[in-house]
Structure 1
Amino acid sequence: MAAVIRNSTKRAPTAIAMMNMGGPSTLDEVQGFLTNLFTDPEIIPMGPVQNVVGPYVAKRRTPKIRDQYAAIGGGSPILKWTNIQGEAMCKLLDEMRPESAPHKHYVFFRYANPLTEVSLKQMKEDGVERAIAFSQYPQWSCTTSGSSMNHLWRELDRLKMTDNFKWSLIDRWNTHPGYVKAVANRVRQGLEQFAPEDRDKVIVMFSAHSVPMNVVNRGDSYTKEIASTTEHVMKELGLKNAHILSWQSKVGYLPWMGPSTSNVIKGFGEQGKKHVLAVPIAFTSDHIETLFEIDIEYAEEAHEVGITHFKRCPSLNDEPVLFQAMADIVKDHLDTNSLHSPQYPLNCPGCTNPMCRTIKNPISPYSKLL
């Protein structure tokens, strides 16, 4: 019956906009990706010189980053995994909620193809009226989810599509039971890489993408939400293992959230620790931070400091529990006619961006908390 619904219906699809950073699918896309990244003031603020300095920094960094993508196969797999996850989620949704079928996912990447503009035009061509902006960052940050959503509202204005779609948001899902269970499943699979007699002594090292301390001090909730996810996962696991939360991928010279993953590895090596499992906690699929930074750079650092058993658990990628969790999240969102999470209307105490916490053409009346 689900296949009949998906293929025979004439109704416009319910659009699920899967919003993420994206990544270059080929080496030729690396410079464009970096240029888009370094000219976004919401993730890497540079002040009034952003549009001049950003492209310069991107060009300077391109050779190094190209080499990194070459080392992992010539491009990021994030588009592949996003499509696999989206298709599986929508297939489940068509079975679980036929009244809003067909459901169709659209990839909304912030810095790589397919960009927001492309997917909005495809939604219009498909006759979409109802759309859900589903952040693929389970933990909210103004630098990631916020940047993607603010860009969506700007693009709707620029393309004169503000009235084309009625929007609601899934802006965070960091402690959803299905998501927590999916991560826990991957941690268990990661622990199976160690000898049975060693598993209880393995340190579970959750590694999240770091953020600048000025973002944290502004009141951004990301670090709190990451920490909450890790505690929920450890409770779900019910294991004896010690765990720690570390932070990776710092850019530039300003202070960022710590301890850095690199320093944690070095510290454990100096203490004589031998068994460490890296768990990428802020990512729903493999990309450069898992395949190069953890698998190559951090693995080499671990070897150099005497950590003889350094492993990474599999990323969520094609985890069936994740597919079900995403479908459950969307179904509950539609069933309850939700517009956003309770936290979304609350600006960070130090926010200076008037675009933050906007919703254009919402499904129900909306206002920021004043």
Structure 2
Amino acid sequence: MLNMGGPSTVSETHDFLRNLFSDGDLIPLPFQSVLAPWIARRRAPQIEEQYAAIGGGSPIFRWTEAQGDGLSALLDELHPQTAPHKSYIAFRYARPLADEAARRMKEDGVKRAIAFSQYPQYSCSTTGSSLNDVYRKSRAGHFSGIRWSVIDRWSTHAGFIEAVSQNIEAALQKFPEEKRGEVVLLFSAHSLPMSVVNRGDPYVLEVSATVAAVMDRLGHANPYRLAWQSQVGPSAWLGPQTRNALKGLARLGKMRVVLVPIAFTSDHIETLYELDLEYGKEARELGMEVHRAESLNASPVFIRALADIVEQHLKESAAGSPPTSVQMGLRCPGCSNATCAHQKSFFARGGDA
């Protein structure tokens, strides 16, 4: 289960930030090996305060572990011919990192594995970065002897869409019945640098497809917009920023909003601090009534969706489907990262096992 991860304790924040800013797939920086540690040191005190404010660390490991346990138990029932199933977490920037997952898999004698991205929508800076990391660790011998396949995206899977829609409907119930039709649904996803978008990254298209599928499920009963959060640094990023979108809605007299995290599958700092404490506070100061749709976390509908995604993948694999999707094989038109090419070739042949 591949994801960016987050520091489980405040003391892990600096290492998390250093790993994050060192990743050129996510945040391309000039002189990255020098700038990344410097930025991490400067930002750590502020980010440590934010993690302290949400309970002393990110809950993303706890939720991912629960999702993986639930997924594995369901798979044992749904697809007994490949049982027993076991999930391993490989975070990109926080423990457990990919090498730790590799160690545990080796101890368990794993010979067949699925690299399952926990980002519903594909981006080279998220899923691509995690797959590049697994590829590099494989070349270094950490994942030797494993036959791989990949689930790289699932942005419009019916179970995922249903889980998100149910949480939006629950948030709408917090508004007076006669006002619910006026409530704006403001979908919020992690932003990307425009340099990534402009080279042809599919993330914007896939997030938009998720939003469209959710609105179809909800019957287009409410007005909606898509905004972007978590911009870092002075370079141009995809907009509008969620904070600015809320201010703009207030200026237009749209004072009731449901905030919907649409690219995050469990709570972490972007939902618990940025959306809830930071943007929510600013919106209330503007006189707005804002409620956030709950993250998917331990939603049984969502965990069943994860199991269905893997079950279908296993069935297709047994029927002779290639280890990776057609879409995963296509590099961005503006890609100049040689590692992406090597990684795609590696997984397309099922690894080196």
What is the deviation of 1:306?
2.4
**Is 2:231–2:237's contact at 8 Å kept on the other side of the alignment?**
yes
- 2:175 is paired with a residue of what secondary structure? coil
**Alignment map for 1:150-161 (pairs within 5 Å):** 150-158=132-140, 160-161=141-142
Structure 2: tracts of 5 or more residues without a match = none
2:15 equivalent in structure 1: 32
Query: Structure 2 counterpart of 1:241, which letter?
Result: N
Q: Distance in 2 between matches of 1:320 and 1:163?
A: 34
What is the deviation of 1:131?
0.3
**Is 1:27–1:69's contact at 8 Å kept on the other side of the alignment?**
yes
Structure 1 residue corresponding to 2:240, chosen from 247, 250, 259 = 259
Q: Structure 1 residue runs of 4+, over 3 Å off?
A: 359-366
2:113 equivalent in structure 1: 131
The answer to whether structure 1 residue 228 and structure 2 residue 212 are counterparts is no
What is the deviation of 1:166?
0.3
- 1:106 is paired with a residue of what secondary structure? coil
What is the deviation of 1:45?
1.0
The answer to whether structure 1 residue 60 and structure 2 residue 42 are counterparts is yes
The answer to whether structure 1 residue 108 and structure 2 residue 126 are counterparts is no
What is the deviation of 1:85?
0.4
Please, what is the CA RMSD of the aligned residues?
A: 1.3
**Is 1:165–1:361's contact at 8 Å kept on the other side of the alignment?**
no
Residue range with higher mean Cα deviation, 352-361 or 339-348: 352-361
Q: Distance in 2 between matches of 1:251 and 1:292?
A: 15
- 2:335 is paired with a residue of what secondary structure? coil
**Is 1:150–1:355's contact at 8 Å kept on the other side of the alignment?**
yes
Q: Distance in 2 between matches of 1:27 and 1:179?
A: 31
1:15 equivalent in structure 2: none
The answer to whether structure 1 residue 317 and structure 2 residue 292 are counterparts is no
2:250 equivalent in structure 1: 269
What is the deviation of 1:304?
2.4
**Is 2:102–2:143's contact at 8 Å kept on the other side of the alignment?**
no
Q: Distance in 2 between matches of 1:267 and 1:97?
A: 49
**Alignment map for 1:234-253 (pairs within 5 Å):** 234-253=215-234
What is the deviation of 1:163?
3.7
Identity, % of aligned pairs?
Answer: 51
Q: Distance in 2 between matches of 1:206 and 1:148?
A: 25
Structure 2 residue corresponding to 1:120, chosen from 99, 102, 124 = 102
1:332 equivalent in structure 2: 312
Query: Which digits, 9 at most, give the CA deviation of each residue in 1:243-278, with x for residues without a partner?
Result: 100000000111111111011111111112110000
Q: Distance in 1 between matches of 2:256 and 2:238?
A: 24
| Cα gap change, 1:103 to 1:267, in 2 (>3 Å) | same
TM-score normalised by length of structure 2: 0.96
Query: Structure 2 counterpart of 1:110, which letter?
Result: R
**Is 1:167–1:361's contact at 8 Å kept on the other side of the alignment?**
no
- 1:282 is paired with a residue of what secondary structure? coil
Query: Structure 1 counterpart of 2:267, which letter?
Result: D
- 2:215 is paired with a residue of what secondary structure? helix
Query: Structure 1 counterpart of 2:334, which letter?
Result: G
What is the deviation of 1:161?
3.9
What is the aligned residue count? 346
2:81 equivalent in structure 1: 99
TM-score normalised by length of structure 1: 0.91
| Cα gap change, 1:300 to 1:60, in 2 (>3 Å) | same
Query: Structure 2 counterpart of 1:175, which letter?
Result: T
The answer to whether structure 1 residue 74 and structure 2 residue 56 are counterparts is yes
Q: Distance in 1 between matches of 2:202 and 2:345?
A: 23
- 1:356 is paired with a residue of what secondary structure? helix
1:41 equivalent in structure 2: 24
Q: Distance in 2 between matches of 1:364 and 1:46?
A: 32
| Cα gap change, 1:360 to 1:344, in 2 (>3 Å) | closer
What is the deviation of 1:197?
1.6
- 2:99 is paired with a residue of what secondary structure? helix
What is the deviation of 1:362?
4.6
Query: Structure 1 counterpart of 2:281, which letter?
Result: E
Q: Distance in 1 between matches of 2:183 and 2:142?
A: 52
- 2:65 is paired with a residue of what secondary structure? helix
Structure 1 residue corresponding to 2:154, chosen from 169, 173, 197 = 173
Query: Structure 1 counterpart of 2:120, which letter?
Result: P
Structure 2 residue corresponding to 1:205, chosen from 172, 186, 191 = 186
